[in-house]
Amino acid sequence: MAFSFLQSYYFYTTIFIHKSFKPLDFILLNKMVKNMSQQTAKLLLPFAIPAEDRDKAFTKDMEMAAVFYLAESEREKGGGRILRKPAEELVFIAEACYPVWLVPWREKILILDGLGAMSHTFSYDLLPDVKTFDSDIQRSAETREAYSAALSNNANYFQSFAGKEEKNIESLIANPEFIQDLISYLPEAEEIEKPVANVAFLSSAIDESTISTIVEELSNFEVKLREEINSLGKSMKLLSTTTEQQVRIIREEIRGIEKKFDEKIEMIKPKVMEKVHEIRRKCDVEITRATKKFERQLRLLHKDRVKLEKKQERLNFEINRCEAGIKSCRLRKDEGGELAWRQKLERSRKELQTLEKSIRDMDKKIEDAETAKKLEISDLRSTYDAEVEEAMKDLRELEASREAGIRMKQQEITSLEDTTSSIIDQMNEMRKLKRAALKELDRISAPKSQKNYALVCLPLYLACYETEKKKRYAVHPPSVVGSMGILTKLKGVFGATKMKSFLQPRSKAITTFLNQLVALIQENPVFEKEISDAGIQASTLQTKESRELIRKGLEELKEEKWISESEFQTFSKPL
């Protein structure tokens, strides 16, 4: 990535140890905020603060010593049997400040990268042309046929967005973790009202004009989102209202159809019903006549059957008597009497068979008569029902025409309402997505904590290492000063450095943000030279006095047992 704008960066340093401070230095510090309002606050955050469980004093000397210890520990010492690495020289360790802007916006605070290295891209969904849709709806509303056609043609108009665009806001920091951590960091800031010793300030690459442009872009983006949400809402209302008007007209037409046909029906219904009653009366008479005819026939048939049943009973009795006579003669051994009874029994049985056949024939006649009765009555009903339907033909025609007209109108209502509901659902879904995009603007801003602009100086230590071939840079981010707990002591027992427990980065997000400075330096030689020159000037290793302060800090660390005696001797030698 090219950073041509890095050529505008400047690294200003104010130093007044042992009266070395010059008035010009503070003038340069003030120039960091070119063209900005005099009401702009300059806030300096502390590099390190004691942890809540730390009960011992923490001094600036200890801070400088701890950073020196870590920087020296990370310096490549050279060596290696196979791939020998050249030893690095620790060129400088400079305390610096990275510029971050706090900009009031819409009852919120925007956080901007003063070097302009960061940016945030909004993915923006393009709406279909709402005005074109509204014009089509309004124009077609004059006739229902045109309106129905317009709804049908636009049934999927809002099914998907017209496309996507991206809106890139330069310098905007949108990382929620960074925003949260910085806001929680701000209460510890102090306003800069006089020169700060031994601190190199990175000058802001963005000025009032750039910030105004950023704010204007965001404001325009927000206004556009709100306008689109409102336009969708108005279009939904227009569509709903227009459809309701059309539905009201159709319902009025339904009432007109009902009234028109009801009047016609009421006009002919009395005559039709009178004719129907006459037909049904004739039908009842014919059915009664036929019923009586068949009932007389059936009575005679049932009477004859009863006679046959009586005769059957007598024959059965005679058969039983013959069988009893046979048994009696057999007991008396009266062969002549037994033969007479047998002959008589044979005649009775033959007669009974003939009689049973006559009964079956009679049952068949009764059944046939019942069937004939039902058929004749059914035929009579069919004949007269046909006459009734013929009589009611005109009435039925009017009722069918009324129902057909009403049903067509109701189907038209259903079609209008369903298509309208579908389009409104599509529009509402788009409006939800637009509202979600609007909420994203809240997520990239912080709660408002002040009325005016503020330039926050985010502290760090920058270490520079050099070999014959290249330079290497390392950032030491804002930290929390720990206490000597049991776990920290155990680290020393197992050979792990305890200094990383002494200075613990306070925020992963802020650390990641500040580490981008290394990439910016490496990507731009001009910027690197300015950084290098200013870093050497502000280095904590630059003067004998500052090196003595580091040595003093090492002694304090040793007294707290953060470093051993041998480590104290080793790290004191370069000083």
Q: Are residues 105 and 172 both part of a single domain?
A: yes
- Predicted confidence band at 41 (pLDDT cuts at 50, 70, 90)? confident
CA distance 48 to 59: 10
Query: Taking Cα atoms as reference points, which of 118, 62, 14 lies closest to residue 482?
Result: 62
Query: Taking Cα atoms as reference points, which of 257, 279, 277, 250 lies closest to residue 400?
Result: 257
Question: Quick one: average pLDDT of 307-325?
Answer: 91
Q: Is 10 exposed, middle or buried (0-12, 13-18, 19+ CB in 10 A)?
A: middle
Residue 156: inside a domain: no
Task: Give yes or no for residue 170 having a pLDDT over 70.
Answer: yes
Write phi, then psi, for 369 (nearest 5 degrees).
Answer: -65, -40
- Residue finishing a domain among 355, 389, 406: 406
Q: Are residues 202 and 72 both part of a single domain?
A: yes
* Helices (runs of H) and strands (runs of E) counted in the chain: 14, 14
- Predicted confidence band at 488 (pLDDT cuts at 50, 70, 90)? low
Residue 145: inside a domain: no
Q: Are residues 387 and 497 both part of a single domain?
A: no
Q: Are residues 537 and 485 both part of a single domain?
A: yes
- Predicted confidence band at 82 (pLDDT cuts at 50, 70, 90)? low
pLDDT at 26: 31
Q: Are residues 13 and 82 both part of a single domain?
A: yes
pLDDT at 124: 84
Q: Are residues 275 and 368 both part of a single domain?
A: yes
For residue range 348-382, list pLDDT tens digits in order: 899 989 999 999 999 999 999 999 999 999 999 99
Q: Are residues 511 and 457 both part of a single domain?
A: yes
* Total domains, the chain: 2
CA distance 202 to 530: 10
Place of tokens 């390392």: 474
CA distance 543 to 396: 115
Residue 509: inside a domain: yes
- Predicted confidence band at 334 (pLDDT cuts at 50, 70, 90)? confident
More confident residue, 254 or 574: 254
Of all helices (H) and strands (E), which one includes residue 409? helix 393-443
Q: Are residues 21 and 115 both part of a single domain?
A: yes
**Is-contact 113 171, C-beta < 8 A?**
yes
Question: Quick one: average pLDDT of 40-60?
Answer: 90
Task: Give yes or no for residue 486 having a pLDDT over 80.
Answer: no
Q: Are residues 378 and 487 both part of a single domain?
A: no
Residue 146: inside a domain: no
For residue range 203-218, list pLDDT tens digits in order: 898 988 899 999 999 9
Residue 253: inside a domain: no
Q: Are residues 81 and 22 both part of a single domain?
A: yes
CA distance 575 to 573: 5
Query: Taking Cα atoms as reference points, which of 507, 543, 547, 463 lies closest to residue 184?
Result: 507
Residues with Cβ < 8 Å from 297, sequence gap 6 or more?
369
Q: Are residues 61 and 200 both part of a single domain?
A: yes
Task: Give yes or no for residue 4 having a pLDDT over 90.
Answer: no
Reported pTM? 0.69
Residue 261: inside a domain: no
Place of tokens 């206490």: 483
Q: Give the mean pLDDT of the chain.
A: 87
Domain containing residue 315: 266-406
Q: Are residues 454 and 391 both part of a single domain?
A: no
- Residue finishing a domain among 351, 382, 406: 406
Q: What angle, 0 to 180 degrees and rounded to 10, lies between the N-to-C axes of helices 335-391 and 208-332?
A: 150
Residue 12: inside a domain: yes
CA distance 498 to 443: 38
- Predicted confidence band at 85 (pLDDT cuts at 50, 70, 90)? confident
List the CATH number of the domain containing 372.
Answer: 1.10.287
pLDDT at 469: 85
Query: Taking Cα atoms as reference points, which of 7, 5, 1 lies closest to residue 528?
Result: 7
Residue 367: inside a domain: yes
- Residue finishing a domain among 383, 406, 429: 406
For residue range 98-147, list pLDDT tens digits in order: 999 999 988 889 999 999 999 999 888 999 999 999 999 999 999 999 99
